[in-house]
Structure 1
Amino acid sequence: MKKNLAKATALLLTAGMIGGTGLTAAASDVELNPAGTYPVVKDGTLEFDCFTMSMPNVEDLQTNDFTKYMEEKTGITMNFLTGGRDDWSDKLNLMLQSGDYPDVILGLSPDLAKYGVKEGMIIPLDDYLTEENVPNYLKTMEPYGLDMTKEADGKIYSLANINVCYHCQYGRKMWVNKRYLDEMGVDVPTTTDEFYDVCKKFLEYKPNGVAIGGAAQGWYSRMQDWLIDAFVLMPNTSYTTSQKDTIALNTDTNEIECVATDDRYKEAMKWIKSLYDLGAIYDGDFTQTAEQLKTLVNQADEPVLFFTAGTISDMIDAASNPDFYKDYECMAPIAGPDGTRIAFQTPNPGVSGGAFCITDKCENPEAALRWVDFFYSETGDLCSQYGADEGTDWVLNPEGKVGLNGEPAKYEVLNLYSAETQNHDWQDIGIRVAPADYRLGQAVDPDVDVHSTAGLEKLLYDASAELYAPYAGTSNIKLFDEMKLTDEESTNISVIAVEVADIIESDSVAFMTGAKDIDSEWDSFKDSLDKAGLQDLIAVYQEAYARSSEGDETEATTEAAAETEAATEAAETTAETETETAA
């Protein structure tokens, strides 16, 4: 049965997307093989339309080697529709709102309260999450529990993404060209005053240089967030609203607040403006993409002293430019005027919903789930990340090798990660299934050159442990994991959150660049946020926080009761045994 996406949607998604027309067999037309066996489809093939995110280092998902491997292994073809890192959310929302949307959504989380709980476009998976359909997934989720993926109505609308990545917890990192510092005769700065002075000296040393490079979008590429942390902990994009609304919990008051209205945030804006007035901040930092920042960093004259990125490999490729790669090293957070020194640490442990959703367009959810269940197998993540050729791309249990944690290595990667475009594997596209022991179990030579491609994981691990972990948890601002909202709450704040985030972003840039005077316009900034509905947004967060706190207390009470009951039973058993022995 042919199923074509409407022309309107196709035109809408043309830019930056791989076109695709799905062919989906009805459930009654196909027989599936037993659980855990491949191919999934006993005879013939199935096709599904799949929306996911494209990445610059993957040439073409449709013709990718791993894609072809999955087609041959499962008997299922995915026809990919994609959005980029900066626009996938808008494209996905437009598809869902148009009524023309794909069978499955891979590696990207739509608004499940809206499109799942309320409108039913994304279907509940509870009845499909069986040993018959997803044996690997159920085994992988045992330590975490399926309840964490439930929405406010108590149903599950997505599979989980599991990426318990140590260095990702401290992804907000600053990198500095150490060669330039050595040539200028200065040390890595440790305070805001020292940072300012180093920037000033660099601009004298290299008048056409860029002291601080950043981007408006990209994985921890916003330079202002790292700088603000010297004054107050700056929240990342909200897991709840997917907006940078800067909502967090003040642990001193146990109240929800907007960090952007904190006086410490105001002081951060004033200090960043002093850097801008110095000429240290490149105007493009507020608007450019991570790819544009990468182009800037890699110019022939090496113009950038500092830049922000979750990993240096996002900006410089060690394989093609090894000498330049070695010039940069990670630096620790800097201390503000009052001694505040904060390392951002994500509140999410690395397990979250939204990794795989099935829409009501899909006529065979069981087959779709059996396709994705491979990613949760022992080798599924290795195959998607590095390629499916065992012995060429990776090996299991390499003899005599140790992981980052010093334990015997679980695997060794032979086809190392590269930021250069390739078409062999998916790398960071789709689902990550990487529990902590798996991430730390990658074979690493203890003496590896951390400035080589092979040393990237150790470089990031060491930088996180030595430079950032000591300064985590030092703030009275507590960040949130995803808050499960009711459909009504989600609807009530969906527009408000966008407007609040837009005001914060536009006015903050104006404050940092001097387009607006922060002293004279600070009160009007806060008033505009209140008029946009900030207090209503805070109230919804407060209610959701109260619900989650009650749930935590109930769970703790239940566990305590269970422990008490078990202890009582043990005591009774012991008493009975002693009585019998005495008798």
Structure 2
Amino acid sequence: MIKSLKKMIVFGTAIAMSAGMLAGCGSSKGGDSASVELNDAGTYPIVKDGTIDMTMFTMSMPNVEDFATNDFTKYMEEKTGIHMSFVTGGRDDWEEKLNMILQSDDYPDIIFGVSPNIAKYGVKEGIFIPLDDYLTEENVPNYLKVMGDYDLGVTRETDGKIYSMANINDCYHCKYARKMWVNTYLLDQIGCEIPTTTEEFMDVCTKFLEYKPDGIAVAGAQEGWFSRMQDWLMGAYTFVPTKSETFNVRDYIALDSDTNKVVSVATSDAYKEGLKFINELYKKGAIYDGDFTQTGEQMKTLVNQADEPVLFFTSGTISDAIDSASNNELYRHYSCMAPIEGPDGTKIAWTMPNYGVSSGAVCITDNCKNVEAALRWVDTFYSETGDLCSQYGADEGTDWVLNPEGKVGLNGEPALYEVLNVYSAEAQNHDWQDVGIRVAPEAYRLGQAVDADVDPYAPEGLERLLFDATEELYEPYGASSNIINLNELKVTDEESTEVSTIAVEIEKIIEENSVAFMTGAKDIDAEWDSYLNTMDKAGLSTLLDVYQTAYDRANK
């Protein structure tokens, strides 16, 4: 195994952060974990006698208070006999923290729910171990059952080996998650309908600012789940991809499905026209300066001010911005709206082909002394009730029930389960909610019980609200563009090394120039060619070539 040398000064912070948690990594009460006897496959606890101590890196979220004391964490320890300690990184810095930790020798047993760089830390350096020989009915029966409906090949790397388990979140409303929400109460005050075109959108923003000069016509955030307002507005001009599934940067590389060629959206004439439209909104005062820098939490604070200053905001779910339980009056003031139509008739809803399954959800490191035990612990999440327990709590009958009598799911079929402990964006310590991995095939997602007459604006009506908005307003426009998102592509570490710096630089050039064009800090007509030349010099063609090579390799 090739490992990076320790750099104690550079990585001292990360090592110090995790040293207490990682001490004794993989040890067990009463002996070395490698020699601990396990119970038969599919039975609990996993450990026959005693407790194994393991460590895990995962991402923290504002609505989960403390993994160490969380009720679901305690449930997992009691059920499995494995005590888990946690090292975490936030939504904005987990990758940096994980990379720092992996460049020491003192890293956790399990990397959970964060999609790390497997080409580097698995294929090349061997820190993540190949799992092919461990993915057996004895170790992961639940995982193999669930993946029977999908392609295990999605987790296979360029060397032909599997270094990770899959995340399965075949979520209908997530397939069209780039959504805009509008305050219809404020629309009524200014005598306007929900806009359907760029021209109407401009007019509504103008009238709103006349009514409320200190208001924010369009709110968004740079970090958050589909909260970038400019990406939604661009749907009236061109398709804007999400952050690259391959390089984890916002490089605006997409696929032309007509030609099977990778393209740069951010160099297109359509993208330029979209920037001009947003600049017009900005000049009218409709775009808040903070939209280009603020976090989702900061946007949430704006939206929830008592005087309701925000007319439009972007978010994959309204619940990320407003809590339906604690602020239901404001929650009811907002409705989801369809994509708006541009001057040439373009009207695009973001979507992702082959959405629902991705690699990198779980990796096991070579520090793990009992891989079988670790995988059986993970396999619990892939069981019939594993996702329910992690998302909503492990108290059957209190947090959820299976096969509720007389209830139907979102799809109109007999319900598979009913959630009693409804989702909340507020901090809690009962379950993990959206942290970690999801094991939610489409039938499971659509099988959640929803009363036929459920109030979509009640806390228990969120899934109905999102389903209806998606079906009525977004799915009809999901196939309206030949420019589409690229699925995750497997690249070699050499390919990644060749373009990783380029990709970061391309992202920086696009983001900085796009904001400058949108705000008018740069004249888009006068400086567009200079922007394109800067992209060329930064190596855009090389980046496109690597994407194309990886795409052709995967589709040969």
Report the TM-score range of the alignment, normalised by the length of the smaller protein.
over 0.9
Which region of structure 1 is more displaced relative to structure 2, 386-395 or 487-496? 487-496
Of 11, 14, 17, which residue of structure 2 is paired with 1:12?
Answer: 14
Match of residue 239, structure 2, among 233, 253, 260: 233
RMSD: 1.6
Matched with 2:88 is: 82
Q: Distance in 1 between matches of 2:95 and 2:294?
A: 18
**Cα distance in structure 2, aligned partners of 1:318 and 1:106:** 30
Aligned mates of 2:170, 2:516 — CA distance in 1 = 37
Q: Which runs of 5+ in 1 are unaligned?
A: 551-583
Q: 1:545 offset after TM fit, Å?
A: 1.6
Q: Where in structure 2 are the equivalents of 1:14-413 lying within 5 Å?
A: 20-23=21-24, 24-25=26-27, 26-413=32-419
The structural deviation recorded for 1:29 is 3.0
Which AA in structure 1 matches 2:311? L
Distance 1:28 1:172, change over 3 A: closer
Partners of 2:215 and 2:143 in 1: how far apart?
Answer: 50
Mark the CA change 1:18 to 1:309 in structure 2 (over 3 Å): closer, same or farther: farther
Q: Does 1:524 align with 2:524?
A: no
Write out per-residue CA displacement over residues 397-422 of structure 1, whole angstroms, 9 at most, x where no aligned residue. 00000000000000000000001111
Question: Counterparts of 1:29 and 1:287 in 2: how far apart (Å)?
Answer: 51
- Aligned mates of 2:196, 2:511 — CA distance in 1: 27
TM-score, normalised with respect to structure 2: 0.96
Matched position secondary structure for 1:235: coil
Q: Judge conservation of contact 1:18–1:80 (CA < 8 Å) in 2.
A: no
Cα pair 2:423 2:459 within 8 Å, conserved: yes
Query: Alignment partner of 1:519: what SS?
Result: helix
1:428-453 Cα offsets, whole Å, 9 max, x none, are 01110000110000000111111111
For 1:177, the aligned partner's letter is N
Secondary structure in 2 matching 1:279: coil
Compare 429-438 and 26-35 and name the one that shifted more. Answer: 26-35
1:98, CA displacement in angstroms? 3.4
1:325-346 deviations in whole A, cap 9, x for unaligned? Answer: 0000000000001110000012
Quote how far apart the aligned CAs of 1:355 are: 0.9
Give the Cα separation in 2 of the matches to 1:171 and 1:28: 44
Identical-pair percentage: 67
Go from structure 1 to structure 2 and tell me whether the alpha carbon gap of 1:486 and 1:370 turns closer, same or farther (over 3 Å shift): same
SS in 1 for 2:263: strand
Q: Is the 8 A contact 1:170 1:464 kept in 2?
A: yes
**CA–CA distance in structure 2, aligned partners of residues 373 and 14 of structure 1:** 31
Note if contact 1:19-1:80 (Cα within 8 Å) is conserved in structure 2: no
The verdict on how the C-alpha distance between 1:14 and 1:397 changes in structure 2, with shifts beyond 3 A counting, is: farther
Contact 1:172 1:226 survives alignment (8 Å): yes
Alpha-carbon offset, residue 21 of structure 1: 3.3
Sort the Cα spacing of 1:7 and 1:490 in 2 relative to 1 into closer, same or farther, 3 A.
closer
Pairing partner for 1:432 from 434, 438, 442: 438
Q: Give the secondary-structure state (helix, strand or coil) at the position aligned to 1:127.
A: coil
Q: Once the two structures are superposed, what CA deviation does each residue of 1:496-544 show, in whole Å capped at 9, x if it has no partner?
A: 1111111111111111111111111111111111111110010011111
Q: C-alpha separation between the residues in 2 aligned to 1:462 and 1:22?
A: 49
Summarize the Cα distance change of 1:18–1:53 in structure 2 as closer, same or farther, 3 Å threshold.
farther
In the TM superposition, what is the alpha-carbon distance from 1:486 to its structure 2 partner? 2.0
Structure 2 CA distance for partners of 1:18 and 1:205, relative to 1, 3 Å: farther
Q: 1:195 to 1:13 in 2, by over 3 A?
A: farther
The alignment covers a number of residue pairs equal to 545
Residues 307 and 20 of structure 1, relative CA distance in 2, 3 Å threshold? same
* SS of residue matched to 1:545: helix
What is the DSSP-based 3-state SS (H/G/I as helix, E as strand, rest coil) of the residue aligned with 1:81? Answer: strand
CA shift, 1:322, in A, is: 0.8
Asked whether the 8 Å contact 1:496–1:534 carries over to 2, the reply is yes
The C-alpha deviation readout for 1:79-130, integer Å capped at 9, x for no partner, is 1111111111111122123343211111111111111111111111111111
CA apart distance, 1:253: 4.1
Compute the displacement of 1:494 (Å): 1.3
Distance 1:39 1:496, change over 3 A: same
Q: How many Å apart are 1:388 and its aligned residue?
A: 0.3
- Residues 440, 186 of structure 1: alpha-carbon distance in 2 compared, 3 angstrom cutoff: same
- 2:473 corresponds, among 467, 473, 480, to 467
Secondary structure, in 3 states, of the residue corresponding to 2:157?
A: coil
Using structure 1 for the length normalisation, give the TM-score: 0.91
- Is the CA contact 2:63–2:428 (under 8 Å) kept in the aligned structure 1? yes
CA distance in 2, matches of 1:65, 1:9: 32
Q: Name the aligned partner's letter for residue 49 of structure 2.
A: D
Once the two structures are superposed, residues 235-262 of structure 1 have per-residue CA deviations (whole angstroms, 9 ceiling, x without a partner) of: 1001111111111122344422100000
The answer (yes or no) to whether the contact 1:116–1:122 under 8 Å persists in 2 is yes
Unaligned runs of at least 5 residues, structure 2: 1-6
The structure-2 alpha-carbon separation of the partners of 1:13 and 1:456, relative to structure 1 and needing over 3 Å to count, comes to: farther
Q: Find the counterpart in structure 1 of residue 3 from structure 2.
A: none
Counterparts of 1:27 and 1:147, CA distance in 2 = 31
Decide which structure has the larger Cα Rg and report it: 1
Partner of 1:568: none
* Contact 1:6-1:100 at 8 Å conserved across structures: no
Letter in 2 for 1:21: L
Structure 2 Cα separation of the partners of residues 430 and 532 of structure 1 = 35
